[in-house]
Structure formats: C-alpha cells, structure tokens
Amino acid sequence: MTHNLLLTTEIDILILLLVACFAAIALKRLQFPYTIGLVVVGLILGGVGQHVPALEIVQALSLSHDLILFVFVPPLIFESALNLDSRLLLRNLGPTLILAAPGLLISTAIVGSLLSWGTSLTLPQALLFGSLISATDPVAVIALFKELGAPKQLAVLVEGESLFNDVTAIVFFNIILATIATEVGFERAMIAAGIVQFLISFIGGVFVGAILGYSSRYLMALVKENVLVLATVTTVLAYGVFLLAEEVFEVSGVIAIVSAGLMAGWYKSNRLKPEPRAFLGEFWEYAAFLANSLIFLLVGLTISQFQLFGQLRQTESLLTAFGLTIGAIVLARAVVIFGLIPLVNLTSESKIDRRYQFVSFWGGLRGAVCLALALSLDSDFPNRDLIVTLTLGIALFTLLIPGTTIGGLIRTFKLDRPPIIDQWCQAIAKVAVKRAVLKQTHLVESFQPRFNEVINEFQQCYQNELHEAERSLAHLREQIDLNEENIQQLVWLTALAIEQKNYRTLYDQGFMSEPVLGQFNARSILLQDAVLSGSIPSQPATFKPVDTFWGHSIQNIVERLAPKSSWLMRMRSQLIMSQYEYWGILAQTSQQVPLQLQKFAEEGGPTFLLAIQPCINIFEQERIDATLKCDQISEQFRETTISCQIKISNRVAHFFQDKTIKQLVAKGIINEETVERIQS
C-alpha cells in the first residue's frame, strides 16, 4: 500500500512524539536531562531503524535548513523572549551584546585559524565553519537552571547571549559565504561592509519586531478574555514576524522574534488577567516542548544517518580533525568568556560573578542554528561533508559532555537551591496541607450528615497522615543539622517568595500599576539571586523606584529643550505618582510579609522562630522608611498624590466589579447578555 508524502510525514511525527512521551517518563525517573536524553534516544532509534523494517519509516525524517529555521526556531525563540525579564536583560545588556557580537567574531577567528592549519579546510572555509559553530544554544542548560533554582541573572546572561549571537552568526556566515563565492578575499572594504550589514540586520530586526509586536497588542487587547484566540494571535506573531523580517525586509528574523516576544511578554505580564496569563504561558511552554522534542530527536536521527561514529572509526584524519575542533571551540570559548567579561565588569553596574563565568563557559552548547547553517550549504560546496560532519559531532559532544556535567558544576559552586531547603519546605508544606484538610472536614459532615461512619473514617485517616507528617518533620529536625547560613537562606527565600506573591496579588487587584510591578519583580529576583549566592541582607535593600534614573534623565533633557512643555508636566506628574505608589506598596507589603512569615516559622519549630527575627526587623525598618518617603511625597505634592489615589481607587473598583460579575454568572444569577449591559 503506497502513501503520499504528507501522510508519511504525519506518521513519522506521531511516532516521534510518542517516543518523546515515553522518553520523558523514563528520563524523569532516571533524573537525566530531557533534551540531551532525546538525542541519545534519536541515535538509538536511527541505529535500530536501519535493521528493523518496521522502523524504516522513521528514517525518512531528518533535519534541514528550512525545517530548523522556519518551523522550529520561531517557537523556541519566541517562548524564550516571552518569558525573559526585560529589566534583567537591560541590566545585563552590556555583557550579553559583547559576548554575542565581538565574542562571536573572536571565537570565529580562533576556530578558523586553528582548523585552517590542522585540517583540510581552507582559511575561508574554516572561518565559515567557525562562524556557524560559535553560535550557542543553551536550551538544555536553561531547563536545568530552572530545575536547580539557579540565579536568574545567570540564566538571563546565558539565554540572552544565545538569542543575540544567532543573528551575528547568521550575518557573518552569509558574508563569509559570499566572499568565498566571489573569491575577492577579506579586504577592508569587505569587513566594513560586513559590519554595516550586521548593524542593518540587527537594528532592522529590532524595529520590525518592535513595530509588529507593539501593533499586535491592540489585537490582543480585543481578545484577551478569549484564551484560544489569544494563543492564535501570538502564534501568528511568532511565525509572521520571522517571515516578514527574513523574506520581505531582509533583516534578522531571529532578532525580530526576540523584539516581538519581549513586547508580547510585557503585555502578558502587565495587562492580562491571571487566567489568560497562565494559559498563554502554558501554551508557549507546550509549543517549546514540542519543538524541542522533535528537534533533539531529529538531531540524533540525523547523526545516525550520517554514520558519524563509523566515519570517526574508519578515518584517522577525520578523528584528528574532530579532536582539534573540540580543542579549538573550548579554547575560543575560554578566551571569550574569561577575556571579555572581566573587561565588561570594569564599567558595568551589574557585575558578572566568577562562578557565573565558569558556568557560562561550560554551558556553551551547540544546537539548532549551527546545524541549520551547516545544512544550508549546497551539495557541491567544497568540503561540505566535512563541515556538516564536524558540526554534528560538535553538537553531539557539547550536548553529551558539558550538557550532562554542568549540573554538577552548578552544585559545586553552590549556585543551586540547597537541597536541604527543599526538604524542609516539603516537610513543612505537608504538615500545613494535612492540617488545612482536617479543618475543612466539617463541610463534608454538613453535606452528608447521615454517613457519620464514612466521615469519621475520613477524619481518622487524615489525622493519621497528619501525625505521620509531624513525625517526619520532627525526625528531619533531629537528623539534619541546619547551620545558620542554611536557616537564614530558607527564611529569606521564603520571605521573598511571600513578598513576590503579594506584589502579584496587589497588581491583579488593581492596587499597583504595570511599571511599579516590573520594578518590584526585578527587585525580588535580584534579592533572591543574592541570597542564593550566600549574601544575606543585613539592612533594607536600596533600589531606585520605578526606573527613576531613566525618567529623570529624559525629564532633564526635555526641560532644557522645552521648559514649558505640557508633555514635561505630565511626565513629571507621572514620575511623582509612580514613586508615591512604589513606596506605598512597599510599606504595605513590608507589613504583611512578617505576618505570613511568622505562620511559616511556627511549623518549623523554635529554631525558625528565633531565626526569622533579623529578617522581620529588616522588613519593619523597610516599612518605616517607605512610609516616611510616602508621607514626604504626599505632603510635597498633595494634588498629584490625590490624583494617584483616585487612579488606584478606580482600578480596584474595576477589579472587584469584574470579580463580582463573574461570581454572579458562575452562580447562574445573571447571564452573558446581562453582563454586556452592565459593562456598557
């Protein structure tokens, strides 16, 4: 029975997704990185498929340039940009761009020079290979960061470099390829033209993505209650912005996706209500899961089809070239990370810790983009097979060696969330959950008063489980000797988690505006990173509220150009209201956190009750300072702060109005038509 190509492809994809499902279950139990495990599964599937007729159909699928760039890259990059904290990215923009542009060029030069000397590649061919192999793809590393609770700044640095160096790699790959085709050599004019082309591609991609991303917000605003349409709009945005940038405007599609994704991410975090915000996050997490599952399985299948291991065993020169290539990329990565980042640290406000540098060095995996560029070479390109083979080999090496060992490096540097803290949190949470369930058993009793024996059995069961949970907590308290540093880390991480949750709740209820929420989120993340690094706060954190540096800088410029501008007056008023709102929210949250922290500490016993006092003292001092600043602003700018209070009151009223209407609809008291009349 013959099948058409579409049906065959559909069957192949379904088989791969089924394999990915079983692999996810097995790899979770083995505690092996998912994406790296899929490469191994793909290798095995490809090897077995050559000998088992039933699996021959899977051999029809392999990676290609168009498949990677036009199908897999958009969802992967858009999901990363959608969830990337733009404020933290701005704080680390200097080192990120240095690594992505000059760093990639230095890496290209080192790899190209060494391979032109030690392999059959000519200098232009070696530089071409160096440009594509220098693009990092830390998908597996970022997933591990999330699992281990690594500092957010480290994740932003590694992920930001990957997002931006893709465009550098693609532009300079095309420049070197054009140079090889025209045989004009690397002249100054060619280098200058390359730099100009890079800037055009980069800046053009930023503008195309920003314009389309900003425009899509109007459409998202119309459908923000319809989560399915909202997901569809963002899907069209992710793929559409890439196609328009690449095919119409001929600028970087990758940067366009990053720019559009950051715009959509800001809208998701600051304008959507909790339910659609959560759905959109889960939708793109699933889209990235599908893309990652397929691309890493196909990496394994493609390597198997190229018979990489057989070629290495049979050809001594290829094995030598592969070894030299590994040495070259490791050397180039070391020069870039340990040479450029210390220079950036001299002038940057946000310093990159030495431990972060080592993790970034070892976490420079290679993946989708470098494979796409290698596979884009024409079949008659000189030494194409060698370039593709080396690219596949390096991708496999970085995934299997650094990819599987970087977790140990993170733990060695103590950049993960201490396991002992997770054990305490789990034990305390279990006790709290059992107690909460027991408190609600009266609801079951009132609903079914005739079945007392069932209710009594239910209560006894949960009472036994509570006793067991309390015994486990007591045993853990006796068996594990928590040192002062671990206790303080646990206290502060808990306090900061409570604080961040309060900020989101206050925003959702209308008490806080979008810019202030963004500032508080950045503040919490930076404090969490500091605590994870062992720096326990000894005094209230000092952060500039709501980007006052940028706001006052723009205000000063406008005052010089147009001192009587009405726009200037509005801007000054907005800054004052933002500062008033910032200090007011900080005062309120600093009062609430100690109360909730006290409840958590009661479950931990006397040790934790004593340990939380320094933390509570700092929050109390922060509340006093914030209240004082709030009062000062209120006295100095009374009319402006009254306007701010009116704005806040209107936002809160709107929230509770919507909440009440939803409750009435859920109870069946009013229908959707009535809702439209109420809201009109």
Residue-wise pLDDT for 168-187, tens only, equals: 888 888 888 888 877 665 55
Q: In this predicted model, what pLDDT tens digit does every residue of 179-219 receive, in sequence order?
A: 887 766 555 556 676 678 888 888 999 999 999 999 888 88
| 23-27, 271-275, 487-491, 560-564: range with lowest mean pLDDT | 560-564
- What percentage of the chain reaches a pLDDT higher than 90? 14
pLDDT of 504 strictly over 90: no
Q: Which residue has the higher pLDDT, 585 or 197?
A: 585
Instruction: Find, among 365, 374, 333, 364, the residue nearest to 121 by Cα.
Output: 374
Count of Cβ atoms closer than 10 Å to residue 484 Cβ? 10
Take residue 131 and report the two structure tokens written for it: 């440009």
pLDDT, average across residues 256-281: 86
Contact 537, 492 (CB under 8 A): yes
| Cα 581 from Cα 679, distance rounded (Å) | 28
Helix (H, G, I), strand (E, B) or coil at 211: helix
Cα of first residue to Cα of last residue in the chain, in angstroms, is 61
**Strand spans (E) along 55-129:** none
| Cα 100 from Cα 529, distance rounded (Å) | 24
Contact 118, 320 (CB under 8 A): yes
- What percentage of the chain reaches a pLDDT higher than 70? 81
Instruction: Find, among 271, 290, 292, 268, the residue nearest to 281 by Cα.
Output: 268
C-alpha to C-alpha distances, 599 to 435, 467, 589, 655, nearest whole angstrom:
13, 19, 16, 28
pLDDT, average across residues 622-642: 87
Predicted local confidence at residue 114, as pLDDT: 94
Position 92, amino acid: N
Contact 17, 294 (CB under 8 A): yes
Helix (H, G, I), strand (E, B) or coil at 612: helix
| Cα 130 from Cα 234, distance rounded (Å) | 34
Predicted local confidence at residue 339, as pLDDT: 93
| Cα 367 from Cα 142, distance rounded (Å) | 13
Of the CA atoms within 13 Å of residue 464, those in its CB half-sphere come to: 5
| Cα 111 from Cα 44, distance rounded (Å) | 31
Position 620, amino acid: E
- Residue 666 burial (10 A CB sphere; 0-12, 13-18, 19+): exposed
Q: What is the pTM of this model?
A: 0.79
Take residue 423 and report the two structure tokens written for it: 């054990």
pLDDT, average across residues 520-544: 75
Contact 549, 614 (CB under 8 A): no
Q: What angle do CA 65, 35, 320 make, to 5 degrees?
A: 65
pLDDT mean across residues, the chain:
80
Predicted local confidence at residue 554, as pLDDT: 47
